[in-house]
Amino acid sequence: MDKPVTLAAVSDMPYRTIEEFLKFIERRAFHMARMGTGHTDTALDIVQDSMYKLVEKYSAKTAPEWKPLFYRILNSKLTDYYRRKAVRDKLFVWSKSRPDIDGDKFADPTDKAIGRHSETPDEMMMRGQRIERLNDSVQQLPNRQRQAFMLRCWEGLSTIETAAAMKISEGSVKTHYSRAMHTLRDMLEDYRHD
């Protein structure tokens, strides 16, 4: 079932060593985990654990295998987080996390970066509002739809790679991704007309 890896496919990759891969994937994985958890510290822990597990168990694998394996590990860690959180929220109703009150609602370090030189302040503000609206909309998707959307759209994994990472069938990936796209279009439709 595994496809043979061609030399051309390996040479097109932006990484050759596991260290280069981890540097390559770190920021995107963090963004996905932060969107999944709503908390920066929790996301950092999950990404770090996922990276450690990849190195510990799969560093001998070939470079093209690392990405789907990493996202499978990350997905498992996020699923474990959701399960623990659901149990904790049922047992301790009063302690449900509220990221907007905790002040950790996606504090993105890139928010403080200097904007594009060609943008006016109004354009920068509008772009920031669109990005915030998209982040909020993706946050509202059900977990599986959000994972399929992030892996397919944000990370650019194929349907096969996404299915392997999420441990579901290709048909399920297509269904979750399609539903996510339709939901996001509906959610963002009103915003485009404002």
Q: What whole-number distance in Å separates Cα of residue 139 and Cα of residue 36?
A: 7
| Rg over CA atoms, the chain | 18
Report pLDDT for 93: 52
Supply 45's token pair. Answer: 């822990």
Q: What is the pLDDT of residue 190?
A: 65
Q: What is the pLDDT of residue 115?
A: 46
pLDDT for position 116: 45
> 116-194 in CATH: which number?
1.10.10.10
Per the structure block, which two tokens stand in for 21? 């891969």
Q: With a cut of 70, which residues of the chain have pLDDT below it? A: 1-11, 90-119, 190-194
Q: Please report, for residues 84, 136, 150, 164, the alpha-carbon distance to residue 141 in angstroms, rounded to integers and kept in the order given.
A: 19, 9, 11, 21
**How much of the chain, in percent, has pLDDT values that exceed 70?**
75
Structure confidence at residue 138 (pLDDT) = 84
Residue 95 DSSP label = G
Residue spans in the chain of domains classed CATH 1.10.10.10: 116-194
